[in-house]
Structure 1
């Protein structure tokens, strides 16, 4: 059943972002992620869903676009994903109260929120690439980003941790722990604290958390699930011809150990294996795509941030992004087998 349209007062700032631009919002239920973006990013979502479905499967579900216009107070919703849109609360208008300092646009993409449906979602943003700037970047930006590469894990591994949000358990307190019990690792963590020598330990902090009930057994299962899907993403990218500068891998998993174990046990009773983003996959063919998955969420891996992405026939695979993807696959394999 379709939900009614909320008023402007129902829109809220998105509180779970660990990296990226300001100005992101969500609907009151937290099911939709509304991101101001450029026409180029919208075009990449549209072309991916139209002609590159194997890659689109690892993108956040694209539901359409919104026009951010204080004068017209209007919206436009693409036909793509219309069946999914009908299931969610859609805002009448999205007008950020404080426009982002980094991106000036009157357009936004509407995506399914990858972090929705978890009891305590742990979230990690991994920025991909050795080279972070697109061909049309200003020389000052190229210089600035080259400095970031030289000083971080981008140089050796082709990625850096852009931000993490990790639940620490009930009643957790301490440095960098917010009111909900999440430890926040901001952009400076990946810039200045994580180096090639200690990068595995940084990912251990994301996946393993005894205080939240994520012990070695559960953590290894999470790492193995992540590894499987990162390898799938690697295979897709190796078979495509694209260029994506400063795209990211977004990792989400259930950070409450009790809820995670319960979700895994429920999934193990299903005749199907775990699927990216779901805890209980249907064994039936996709006879009814409009039915919502009601099983508890376990984990998700998505490729995000396509402001500088395009399909490039004739240019071969995106080895710049693949460097980071392969490094991530190796690290996750090591964590899952340790």
Structure 2
């Protein structure tokens, strides 16, 4: 059955500029945070998508940050070959890495990291970027950088160890329940959130608004339980590892809204082939992203900063689950 035409409400504008891109590549329309293309600044580069290859391409940032992120992904690949248990286990919580790629964008050659497209095959992708930890400045940050970071997202960051740079979510249209709207918010929205506002936003994102049970979809409980399962796996990894500390790193939560409408298993069409999704993990993804500020663990101590944010997020999702 064809989907009904959607009313689309954009709080966070989709890309409006038209960068010069290599043939076959396009701007990633599900990008909700981070640097984006700008019409007035051809040097600003956002995420790209390679639909044929199932990849997202992330531009390498400042030289030292870009190289650090590249080394991180390469170290995960090496861990699989060397048998390094902690890093090998981490690979399952990070988008697959397919190596660097040079592309000419806006008439300038740039290097991108080719990463797994976590929304591949999703008909109505809901995406949220959550930055983890009370502290988002790394050990090499200048006093000025530290001050700037500490001034961002103050309420949620200090009490929850969480920041919300952006998200998009499909929702039922209040005026016409047979239609959907897409709500998008960026960093300005996240910076204004109180703890209560963050909790309500998370319920909204998961289509689990307990104030109106008509908005709770049949598969919402499955969604929340799968998100919790994946979060708790990541938490288990962090409790055991003593190798790395992660600063200004995020969790990306993605799910397919179209799977919330029925408790029946459904068949989707992808690249001309039908496939059946049998597991929640096929349409719900929680992955760690953004590794430009990953450092060796100081004195081989656990990353309590990241763990604090994870525990807070797990508590928030548990509370939503118990309310529906």
TM-score range, shorter chain: 0.7 to 0.9
Q: Report whether the alignment pairs 1:131 with 2:135.
A: yes
Q: If the length of structure 2 is used for normalisation, what is the TM-score?
A: 0.74
User: How far apart, CA to CA, are the structure 1 residues paired with 2:118 and 2:277?
Assistant: 13
Deviations 1:34-88 (A, max 9, x none): 0012011010111123221211110011111113xxxxxxxxxxxxxxxxxxxxx
Q: Report whether the alignment pairs 1:164 with 2:199.
A: no
Summarize the alignment of residues 21-100 of structure 1 with structure 2, pairs less than 5 Å apart. 21-22=35-36, 23-29=46-52, 31-37=54-60, 38-51=66-79, 52-67=87-102, 94-97=103-106
User: How far apart, CA to CA, are the structure 1 residues paired with 2:297 and 2:134?
Assistant: 19
User: How far apart, CA to CA, are the structure 1 residues paired with 2:281 and 2:291?
Assistant: 29
Residues paired across the two proteins, number: 266
Partner of 1:14 in structure 2? 28
- Deviation for aligned residue 1:261: 4.5
Deviations 1:227-275 (A, max 9, x none): 111011001011112111110110001112xx3355x6339xxxxxxxx
Partner of 1:248 in structure 2? 250
User: How far apart, CA to CA, are the structure 1 residues paired with 2:215 and 2:55?
Assistant: 28
Q: If the length of structure 1 is used for normalisation, what is the TM-score?
A: 0.71
Partner of 1:232 in structure 2? 233
- Deviation for aligned residue 1:115: 1.3
Does the Cα contact within 8 Å between 1:118 and 1:297 map onto a contact in 2? Answer: no
Deviations 1:129-165 (A, max 9, x none): 111111112222111101115x230101001111110
Does the Cα contact within 8 Å between 2:253 and 2:287 map onto a contact in 1? Answer: yes
Partner of 2:16 in structure 1? none
For the residue of structure 1 that corresponds to 2:152, the secondary structure is helix
Does the Cα contact within 8 Å between 1:260 and 1:298 map onto a contact in 2? Answer: no
- Change in 2 beyond 3 A, CA 1:224/1:47: same
Specify every segment of 5 or more residues in structure 2 that has no aligned partner in the other structure, as ranges.
1-20, 37-45, 61-65, 80-86, 267-275
User: How far apart, CA to CA, are the structure 2 residues paired with 1:336 and 1:186?
Assistant: 25
- Deviation for aligned residue 1:200: 1.6
For the residue of structure 2 that corresponds to 1:153, the secondary structure is helix
Tell me how large the CA RMSD over aligned residues is. 2.9
Higher strand content, 1 or 2: 2
Specify every segment of 5 or more residues in structure 1 that has no aligned partner in the other structure, as ranges.
1-6, 68-93, 100-104, 174-179, 268-277, 282-294
User: How far apart, CA to CA, are the structure 1 residues paired with 2:215 and 2:281?
Assistant: 17
Partner of 2:186 in structure 1? 186
